Structure 1
Amino acid sequence: MHVLYVYPNFTTPRGAWSTRAYDFARRWIEQGHRVTVVTGVYDKSDLRPTGSTWTGVVDGIEVRAINVRLSNRHGLGRRVLTFLLLAAFASWHAVRRSYDVALVSSGPLTLGIAGLAARWLRRRPFVFEVRDLFSDGLEQLGIVTNPAAVTSLRWFEGACYRSATRVVALSETMAERIRRRHGIRGIAVVPNAASTALFDHGAEPPAEIAGRDAAFVFTGTMGRANDCGQLLQAARQLRARGRDDIHIYLVGDGQRRPALEAEALRDGLDHVHFVPLVPKDKLAGWLAAATAMVLTLKPVPVFDTVSPNKLFDAFAAGLPVIQTTQGWIRRVLADHDCGITVDATAPTALSDAMVRLADDRQQRDRMARNARRLASDVYSVDRLSNELLDTLVDALRPRRSTPAP
């Protein structure tokens, strides 16, 4: 089977982003399949193409990239233009290239155009992988406020769902929202995966964090969605309680990072540290020295559906999680006793949870063991790559023809 995998921000473990496409594609190739990844150039990726477009092989994976840079630091206008260029590039491949099934990963939602091209112009099975509820995110974050624009986005989402041979959601909460709004049935749920192999080598902690008795780590993008101001508020409360021994590390980049650094400097938060992007294969050292991973998101309903990469990095590293969403992740942490969920709107909840884990070694160690067990038993890359592969194989089976949207 030849899979055309449209994924906007492909990277390997040498980059500083999710390796979902890389990990899954490599395993499918090992099983005798062929994978062609169509992608852009994300600023957290290690992909460095030359020329306006690039074709190459990365660890056995055929990669075709348009050399248009994607960055969370870019403004809305530039990002929309980038998304449209990537959608056009992917659609050309969907129409002109030879393959058996198209796997299109969204967001951005514009990549759905490539899926529609595969389904209706090339008459190939189209599997729509939904990594976020794009229109809900834009509306709830206040990025798109015009009701007609939101309605148009939702109509296009619905067209993609109805045209897809199969739909894959990254969480059960996400799948339920799609079922309820669009009436789509038979949605496969394949969350992000825990790459335990990256954390099995006893990595040496960096000097910046080594030796800390209590170190809480946030990794990834510092943007509007992540609401990292919650971490600075917790730091102020910790200082007021005389707990400057508890350190907070923000590892990554994003549009809001300069403002966060300025705020921490202004308030004298010496126990808050900002660290540049760390490649995935170097992250193990940071997490090995951490007390817990902290996952903050803005308290809006759409984020109760997400499947954040950093959550699975924490599980793979055997690290407890403190997080603020109120959907499926809250249930997983409670059911498996591997972390603490706090209310993002409660003023002291985050700092209270940090103190609790910093002071209770027994609870911390128990949660760490449970997190690692969950990574191996439920969220392993081998298991989840096979689940998505089964969905792709199923999409190739003959079905009744579907009317165009």
Structure 2
Amino acid sequence: MSKPTLWIINQYASTPDTGMGGRSFYIGRELVNLGWEVIIVASASHHLLGKPLQLTDWYKIENHNGLKFVWLRMPSYKGAHSKKRIYGWFKFSSTLKKLQLIDLPKPSHILQSSPSPIPFYGARKLAKRYKAKLIFEVRDIWPLSLVQIGNKSPNHPFIKFLQYTEDYAYKHADIVISNLKFAWKHMITRGMEKSKFHWIPNGYSEEEFAKPEPLSPEFIAKFPKDKLIVGYAGTLGLANNLFPLLDAAELLKEHKDIHIVLVGEGKLKQELIDYANSKNLENVSFLNRVTKSQIPSVYKMFDICFMSLVREDVFKYGISPNKLFEYLAAGKPIIYAVDSGEFKPVEEAKCGITVTSGNFNDIAQAVLDFKIQSDSEKATLGSNAHNYAKANYEYYSLSKKMESILLGS
């Protein structure tokens, strides 16, 4: 009997060496360990790659311990908001038909992963050619997120086209998977049959957390000693709603034993730095991003992990940022400043304090509440976090769930 074969078409996929690894890489790797043949098809040039690939041909195949990557040469662009990025969605989709020219194992299943739904057109053509089951994976609800968070008009012609494409994908996919637990409530309003829907959240790699890459002495030296470190690691962007954290830092100025550290890059980084400087926030530090394999070492430097998102209606369908599950896996107490509807991970895990998104007074008070806790109390919260992550979000378990869904189709 031949192996089941899954093609994951994710334009923004990466490996831990080229980017942040992410969902496609880790689930793909675990499926390989379960006996699957897995090929990830990705762009060799996109804004989430720390190390874009230089291709001399239109494609390049790499083997990562049995997990195959097919990198497609795409136009390079600068930043997530570049118009060239939009062109790349169509270019990537149209290039998918050329995969039949490569000697690849015939897929039994083809999964197209968003956020952009446009490559679904190319994925569907491949599925029809190979008579494969077609899966639409929604990691961000477009165009709803673009309208609510990006302030795009729902009447813009391109947004209307994206809406048509989203609806088309729900109609023609055999299976719809999302990392957003309650996304089905939106999807059924766009014509999806509820029976198609399955929830598989993002997760974390227990192996990477067990053996993290150490930080450089120079990086470690930037953390103040003998202080309660409230840390954030990730993208410094609009959706992450980090200005209220700086406003909370202003309220905490007199508490010299508390320090806030933000690690990462993003469109708003300089604005955040300028804002902190304008308020003379000596209790706030900004550090540059680290590699994916060093992230667990960063979390070890935090006493409290901070998670925040803007208040938008779209988040009532759930959230699934990688940092949430990594925070849990790191075994640290969490301040959760997110309004995520029925999805209440920190309350369920009993591992921290949930506050209203954007309320800097509540954020400051949560920090002070943690300050007066004993080390053993914080350790209990951290243990709760790790146990909850291991039971619900380790990528091996998520991959078993993925296998069950695919083989049950």
- Aligned partners of 1:200 and 1:363: how far apart in 2? 23
The residue that corresponds to 2:320 in the other structure is 307
Match of 2:362 among 349, 356, 367: 349
The residue that corresponds to 1:55 in the other structure is 61
Q: Any conservation in 1 of the 2:310–2:358 contact (CA below 8 Å)? A: no
1:247 to 1:26, Cα distance in 2 relative to 1, 3 A: same
1:348 to 1:180, Cα distance in 2 relative to 1, 3 A: same
> What is the Cα deviation at residue 165 of structure 1?
0.7
Match of 2:249 among 200, 212, 235: 235
Match of 1:81 among 83, 87, 107: 87
1:94 to 1:166, Cα distance in 2 relative to 1, 3 A: farther
Q: Any conservation in 2 of the 1:193–1:379 contact (CA below 8 Å)? A: yes
Between 116-125 and 223-232, report the one with greater CA deviation: 116-125
> What is the Cα deviation at residue 325 of structure 1?
2.1
Post-superposition CA distance 1:337-370 (Å, at most 9, x none) = 1122211243411121122223313442221111
Amino acid at match of 2:170: Y
Is 2:342 the counterpart of 1:334? no
**Structure 2 unmatched runs, 5+:** none
- Aligned partners of 2:324 and 2:25: how far apart in 1? 18
The residue that corresponds to 1:209 in the other structure is 223
Amino acid at match of 2:394: S
The residue that corresponds to 2:205 in the other structure is 195
TM-score by length of 1: 0.88
Q: Any conservation in 1 of the 2:9–2:41 contact (CA below 8 Å)? A: yes
Aligned length: 393
**Percent of residue pairs identical:** 21
Match of 2:167 among 158, 165, 176: 158
> What is the Cα deviation at residue 115 of structure 1?
3.0
Between 84-93 and 313-322, report the one with greater CA deviation: 84-93
Amino acid at match of 1:124: A
The residue that corresponds to 1:222 in the other structure is 236
> What is the Cα deviation at residue 76 of structure 1?
4.3
Match of 1:28 among 31, 37, 58: 31
Is 2:69 the counterpart of 1:66? no
The residue that corresponds to 2:134 in the other structure is 126
Post-superposition CA distance 1:193-249 (Å, at most 9, x none) = 12222222487662323734311221221122212222222222222xx12432222
The residue that corresponds to 1:318 in the other structure is 331
Q: Any conservation in 1 of the 2:75–2:84 contact (CA below 8 Å)? A: no
Amino acid at match of 1:221: T
The residue that corresponds to 2:261 in the other structure is 249
The residue that corresponds to 2:401 in the other structure is 387
Q: Any conservation in 1 of the 2:304–2:334 contact (CA below 8 Å)? A: yes
User: 2:344 is paired with a residue of what secondary structure?
Assistant: helix
The residue that corresponds to 1:38 in the other structure is 41
User: 2:239 is paired with a residue of what secondary structure?
Assistant: coil
- Aligned partners of 1:125 and 1:182: how far apart in 2? 19
Match of 1:286 among 278, 298, 315: 298
Amino acid at match of 1:253: E
- Aligned partners of 2:258 and 2:393: how far apart in 1? 30
Between 30-39 and 111-120, report the one with greater CA deviation: 111-120
- Aligned partners of 1:282 and 1:91: how far apart in 2? 37
Larger relative contact order (CA 8 Å, sep ≥ 6): 1
Amino acid at match of 1:367: L
> What is the Cα deviation at residue 330 of structure 1?
5.1
- Aligned partners of 2:50 and 2:67: how far apart in 1? 14
Post-superposition CA distance 1:306-359 (Å, at most 9, x none) = 201001111111122222222267522112211222112434111211222233
> What is the Cα deviation at residue 145 of structure 1?
0.9
TM-score by length of 2: 0.87
Post-superposition CA distance 1:22-76 (Å, at most 9, x none) = 2111121122211111112344445542225322222322111124477783424
- Aligned partners of 2:86 and 2:233: how far apart in 1? 25
Is 2:285 the counterpart of 1:273? yes
Amino acid at match of 2:206: T
1:101 to 1:248, Cα distance in 2 relative to 1, 3 A: same
Is 2:118 the counterpart of 1:110? yes
**Structure 1 unmatched runs, 5+:** 396-405
